Amino acid sequence: MKVDVIVGLQWGDEGKGKIVDYLAPGYDMVARFQGGPNAGHTIKFDGKKFVLHIMPSGIFHDNLVNLIGNGVVIDPAILMKEISQLEESGFEVKEKLLISKKAHLILPTHKYIDAATEYSKGKMKIGSTLKGIGPAYMDKTGRNGLRVGDVFFDNFKNRYNHLKEKHMKFLHQFDAIPDFDIAGEERKFFESMEQLKNYNIINAEYYINEFLDSGKKVLAEGAQGTMLDINHGTYPYVTSSSTITAGVSVGLGIPPSKINRVIGIVKAYTTRVGSGPFPTELLGEIGERLRVEGNEYGATTGRNRRCGWIDIPQLKYAIMINGVTDIALTKLDVLNGFEPVKIGMGYKLSDGSETKKLPFDIDNIEVVPVYEDHKGWVEDISKAKTIDDLPPVPQQYIKKLEEELSTPISFVSVGPERSALIVV
């Protein structure tokens, strides 16, 4: 058996959680392969709403397991809080959750460093979620990190203290450091690590490969989006992990040859939270309307999401990098009432030339999007169950995107609820 993949094709928050939750019953495992509590994946069903940060989005279904893979960075306090909230809502977690021994831990001082680094950057800040993601991955690649499996060894506390001291020395270099309750955070960290020991902490590479060999089906759930990828995103305004399909291999320990279908999640317009280039951003009234109609406020930090039109060159780039086989188009219902609906077709550079490729120095130069107008629609489409239920104009918008992106759209989401989904 092979692995199917869900990846975000924009700057995150495309609606990955909703699509994973919808597809999960067709799989035996949902596996997160990268990122950490910077993610916020929203799932709505039966009028209830859940936001998951570290927990894979298959957790609401029985008969499948959920794996937090080695590529994920775990804040144990956030994970434990998430688990208790799910249990309070009546969802069994323990039997359905597997955690890789090799997943790295976010220490309290990683969050401290994240805050100090962002603070020191002033206007140049990345807009980090301040969950300690960057510093945790730095210690991973710097070969200093602590992993979940390390907790079972006697020297865990010593290794923790050693790394913490290193962090405290590093923090001395900053002129100003925001307030941080290190003692309180540390207490929560160790309490949560004790609880974590009672969960299924496994050799995930063996588990998942044997799982696949025995004929079971796996859905890999990406966090963030392609434009936030550490290698291929709008660097330095990115996150610190491989958010793309290639990250599935690295973050789960499965060979690339075992990757099958790659479903790219695309919002019917574009949003970005945090700093960095965003060519089709709408700074005026239309952007504000998209934010309100689309409820575009961060699921993790509550920040306003920046909003703009869909960007074809950006999406073509993401499809190329990820090997996308088909697309799930989300939030089409939000475009209801916008006239026209604009589509970014290319970029005009300051020398007057036009390009359909993302420039290397996109964060330093002015790029003016070249738009094509598409007719808008005013009909409520949120009750549509099939493509034929959609009025002709939104159908034309879908067709236009398929043509421009040379990729089929297999799902169209028309509302936040699990049931508001058209399978094409």
Query: Rule CB under 6 A: which residues touch ligand IMO?
Result: 8, 11-13, 38-41, 126-129, 131, 133-134, 223-225, 228, 239, 273-274, 299
Question: Which of 4, 8, 9, 13 contacts Mg ion by CB under 5 A?
Answer: 13
- Smallest gap from Cβ 240 to ligand IMO, in A, equals 6
Cβ closest to ligand IMO, residue 362 vs residue 390: 362
**Region of residue 218 (left: phi > 0; alpha: psi -120 to 50; beta: else):** beta
- Smallest gap from Cβ 248 to ligand IMO, in A, equals 15
- Smallest gap from Cβ 195 to ligand GDP, in A, equals 26
Rounded Cα distance, 200 and 94, in Å:
8
Q: Is 13 a catalytic residue?
A: yes
Query: Per CB under 6 A, does 21 bind ligand GDP?
Result: no
Amino acid at 401: L
Cβ closest to ligand IMO, residue 121 vs residue 400: 121
- Smallest gap from Cβ 382 to ligand GDP, in A, equals 7
Query: Per CB under 5 A, does 273 bind Mg ion?
Result: no
Query: Per CB under 5 A, does 296 bind Mg ion?
Result: no
Query: Per CB under 5 A, does 341 bind Mg ion?
Result: no
Are 252 and 205 a contacting pair, CB within 8 Å?
yes
Which residues in 349-384 are b (16+ Cβ under 10 Å) and which e? eeeeeeeeebeeebeeeebebbeeebebbeeebeeb
Rounded Cα distance, 419 and 90, in Å:
21
Look at the chain and count its residues: 424
Rounded Cα distance, 140 and 109, in Å:
14
Are 116 and 174 a contacting pair, CB within 8 Å?
yes
Instruction: Residue 414: name its binding partner from ligand IMO, Mg ion, ligand GDP, none (Cβ under 5 to 8 Å by kind).
Output: ligand GDP
Catalytic member of 13, 139, 229, 311: 13
Cβ closest to ligand GDP, residue 151 vs residue 384: 384
Q: Is 41 a catalytic residue?
A: yes
Query: Per CB under 6 A, does 334 bind ligand GDP?
Result: yes
**Region of residue 104 (left: phi > 0; alpha: psi -120 to 50; beta: else):** beta
Those residues with Cβ within 8 angstroms of residue 385's Cβ, 6 or more apart along the chain or in another chain: 422
Amino acid at 337: G
Cβ closest to Mg ion, residue 17 vs residue 394: 17
Are 130 and 111 a contacting pair, CB within 8 Å?
yes
Query: Per CB under 5 A, does 238 bind Mg ion?
Result: no
Best CA proximity match to 216, nearest among 65, 21, 57, 97: 65
Residue with nearest beta carbon to ligand IMO: 274
Among the candidate windows 34-42, 96-104, 125-133, 349-357, which touches ligand GDP by CB under 6 A?
A: 34-42
Are 420 and 19 a contacting pair, CB within 8 Å?
no
Question: Which of 32, 44, 110, 167 contacts ligand GDP by CB under 6 A?
Answer: 44
Are 263 and 328 a contacting pair, CB within 8 Å?
yes
CA 215 to chain centre: 28
Q: Which residues bind Mg ion (CB under 5 A)?
A: 13, 40, 299
Question: Which residues have a catalytic role annotated?
Answer: 13, 41
Q: Which residues bind ligand GDP (CB under 6 A)?
A: 8, 12-18, 40-42, 44, 295, 299, 330-331, 333-334, 413-416
